[in-house]
Chain A
Amino acid sequence: MSARQPLPSWALNVLMPAMNVLLALFVGGLAVAVIGENPIEAMKVLAYGAFGNGYGLGFTLHYATSLTFTGLAVAVAFHSGLFNIGGEGQAYVAGLGAIMMALWLDHTHWVFVLVGATVGAMTLGALWAAIPGYLQAKRGSHIVITTIMFNFIASALMSYMLAQVITNPGSNAETRTIAETGRIPLLSEYFEFFKHSPVNVMLIFGILALIGVYILLWRTKLGFKIRTLGQNPEAARYAGISAVTIIVIAMAISGALAGMMAVNEAVSVQKRLVVGFVQNFGFIGIAVAFMGRAHPVGIVLAAILFGALYQGGSELAFVMPAVPSELVVVIQALVILFSGAMDEMFKPVLERVFGAFRSKPPAEEAAETEEA
């Protein structure tokens, strides 16, 4: 096909995801119009609720922090060629490690709680992800199915733990609340601007995780091995890279990252562990990773977008009661569908459009894309 041109990387990595999001918002807008409300007005409320003031922005950033962790989790596993859809369960089980450390240390100082809870969360999250990784690498059981099963096993395990083992007598299936001395501070305690919104010190950990994952994947030997295995298992084997070791390590890192979501949500904000605190953030992490093209820069943007959808959505349900907040779930589903599964939808069209506007010979073109 002479009219088609391979797309430049900015079109592939910026334009296409943007078009996918716009399409999802458009379909969401149609749904709003169908129930007789003004879609433009709804989108305005959504955007204002998410970014319009410090309080809304604080919520958006808090959700974005959680989604950064779960998105990075999916991305790291993805670079090793694995599809970890168990972030939900890994974050849930990690909550156990986080809260146990937090409750143990909460009479000292919040810094110890922060460090202890993070270590606890990362350890259990890593463990919960490493088992499916090991089963995939050593026994050949498919990671997608195993991680789905582990989500449900996690759910049963945690209900049991919360109802029977670490429960707070008198309350319904939740732990006791972290003591005042050990509470991780919200950013609003330092910046009046955020007005009691839940964004907290874990935001910094989110940024560190983004940088850390970038360095790990693109600047270290381990990252090179992970990416080699993901892109060409045969070449990795030929180069003497042990698939079993790398898969288990990549999954453990993935689970540890997912686990940090528990510190952000359960320890820092809810200050206790309750049943089902993960609330699909593990699953939305899949969307974040795919929209972000499994790269930290993309992931932070996608995480902010999805965080804004959550926060704007609850604002929307408040301002326009006729529009149920589930609109956000629908828009999220559409973003996942368009950017994750129907990614090829715009590609042929765009390739033609780019082909029509360019007349350089393909060789020069290829050299240019290489540079970019």
Chain B
Amino acid sequence: MGFEDIIPLLNSSVRFAVPLLLACLAGLYSERSGIVDIGLEGKMLGAAFAAAAVAALTGNVWYGMLAAIFVSVCMSMIHAVASINLRGNQVISGVALNFLALGGTVFIGHSIFKRGGTTPNLPKDVRIGPIELPFAAEIGQVPVVGPIYEQLISGHSIIVYFAFVAVPITAWVLMKTRFGLRLRAVGENPKALDTAGISVFLLRYQALVITGVLCGVAGAYLSTSQGANFSENMTAGRGFIALAALIFAKWKPWNALWTCLLFGVLSAAQIRLQGVEFPLIGEVPVQFIQALPYVLTVVLLAGFIGRAVPPKAVGQPYVKER
């Protein structure tokens, strides 16, 4: 594999990594605030549908983006009511939201477009297209650095850049702002915050709004930027890989970036390694590479490679004492 093969591989890795990264950061806000979110998958799926459907109906992809964020935040708020106000089981709420999205998207999609759940193909100008960074063509002539800039860094959609910028922003918010300090505290010891007169409920609601927004963008990316329409169950487990990535990243934003890129490379490599013979081990089954993120997460969780310790209060509803 030469240098010119590596750039397309990395390029498609980035494309695979972006929805994972957005969903992973979404989960990070939720879980750091003490709310388990199994429903990342469902929120992304609902958002992907909303984006593609509204973009197709209005002819404006940005309305689609707004609809995606709206739907995802609404779903996140259902999760909030169930897990914060009603102190319900957060895992079940997540499972329910996943099913709601799975059935609801096809139900509505089929009713509007009569295509058995898929939305019409979006023309090029109703998608979120690639952006040429300045001087891409000129710098592209420079050896080594040129192709990296022209082909790998330039030429992605705005959402890709947004996802990468979201990492340092999340790190900054989490570690350097008052909101971040409180967010981390509410996931570890909500009682301490309550004692200090800070509303546990409000903080968790705020966290879940951010989760909703990020999942919304991730969904819109899938159906209006990476793809050109919505199809049934198009997230295909990405929300769960993002969850795995979140654990693998030990609930830290920079780790989330590296983990999602690693999982992205695995996805990209999976297609290219089909039928490739390796010395000594022979052909590696595609399914093995597919399962690798999950296997790695299990191994990590079991404490065989480092230790992943979740926020202490995660999954427990907060009961204010009277």
Contact = CB atoms under 8 A, between A and B. Distances in A.
B288 A145 contact: no
B95 A153 contact: no
A332 B290 CA distance: 29
Contact of B106 (A149, A324, A340): A324
B240 interface: yes
A85 B91 CA distance: 9
B9 interface: no
A341 B83 contact: yes
Contact of B310 (A142, A153, A164): A142
A141 B303 contact: yes
Given A149-B298, A333-B97, A324 B111 contact: yes
B103 A160 contact: no
A330 B106 CA distance: 10
B298 A340 contact: no
A336 B99 contact: yes
B243 A145 contact: yes
Given A146-B298, A148-B38, A334-B100, A157 B82 contact: no
B203 interface: no
Contacts of B97: 333, 337
A342 B243 contact: no
B88 A344 contact: yes
A327 interface: yes
B247 interface: yes
B107 A145 contact: no
B243 to A, nearest CB: 7
A14 interface: no
B298 A327 contact: no
B88 A330 contact: no
A343 B287 CA distance: 39
Interface string B234-267: 0001001001100100000000000000000000
Tell me the dominant secondary structure on chain B's binding face.
helix
B288 A160 contact: yes
Given A135-B301, A344-B88, A333 B96 contact: yes
B53 to A, nearest CB: 14
A156 B93 contact: no
Tell me the dominant secondary structure on chain A's binding face.
helix
Interface in B290-307: 290-291, 294-295, 297-298, 301-303
A110 interface: no
Nearest to B100: A333
B99 A283 contact: yes
B136 interface: no
Contacts of A283: 95, 99
A145 B301 contact: yes
Interface string B101-135: 01110110011000001000000000000000000
A193 to B, nearest CB: 32
A159 interface: yes
A213 to B, nearest CB: 21
A291 B117 CA distance: 29
A267 to B, nearest CB: 23
Q: How big is the B interface, by class?
A: 35 or more
A340 B99 contact: no
A109 to B, nearest CB: 35
A340 B92 contact: yes
B11 interface: no
A343 B288 CA distance: 40
Contacts of B173: none
B302 A135 contact: yes
A152 B89 CA distance: 23
B108 to A, nearest CB: 8
A82 to B, nearest CB: 12
B81 interface: yes
A41 to B, nearest CB: 16
A233 B96 CA distance: 28
A3 B95 CA distance: 35
Interface string A259-279: 000000000000000000000
A324 B110 contact: yes
B74 interface: no
Interface string A12-25: 00000000000000
A341 B103 contact: no
Contacts of A329: 99, 102-104, 106-107
B287 A160 contact: yes
Interface string B74-86: 0000100111001
A144 interface: yes
Contacts of A35: 111
B298 A135 contact: yes
Contacts of A327: 103, 107
B301 A142 contact: yes
Given A140-B303, A149-B294, A160-B285, A332 B99 contact: yes
Nearest to A344: B86
A31 interface: yes
Nearest to A330: B103
B90 interface: yes
Contacts of B98: 333
A156 B110 contact: no
A281 interface: no
A336 B310 CA distance: 26
B176 interface: no
Nearest to A289: B92
B272 interface: no
A328 interface: yes
Contacts of A156: 287-288, 290-291, 294
A332 B103 contact: yes
Interface in A121-162: 135, 139-142, 144-146, 148-150, 152-153, 156-157, 159-160
Given A324-B117, A326-B104, 8 more contacts: A145-B297, A149-B244, A153-B295, A163-B287, A286-B95, A337-B92, A337-B96, A341-B93
Leading 10 A-B pairs by shortest Cβ distance: A329-B103, A341-B93, A333-B99, A340-B92, A141-B301, A156-B291, A337-B96, A341-B88, A333-B100, A160-B287
5 contacts: A85-B38, A85-B91, A141-B303, A153-B291, A341-B82
Interface of A: 31, 35, 83, 85, 135, 139-142, 144-146, 148-150, 152-153, 156-157, 159-160, 163-164, 280, 283, 286, 290, 322, 324, 326-330, 332-334, 336-337, 340-345
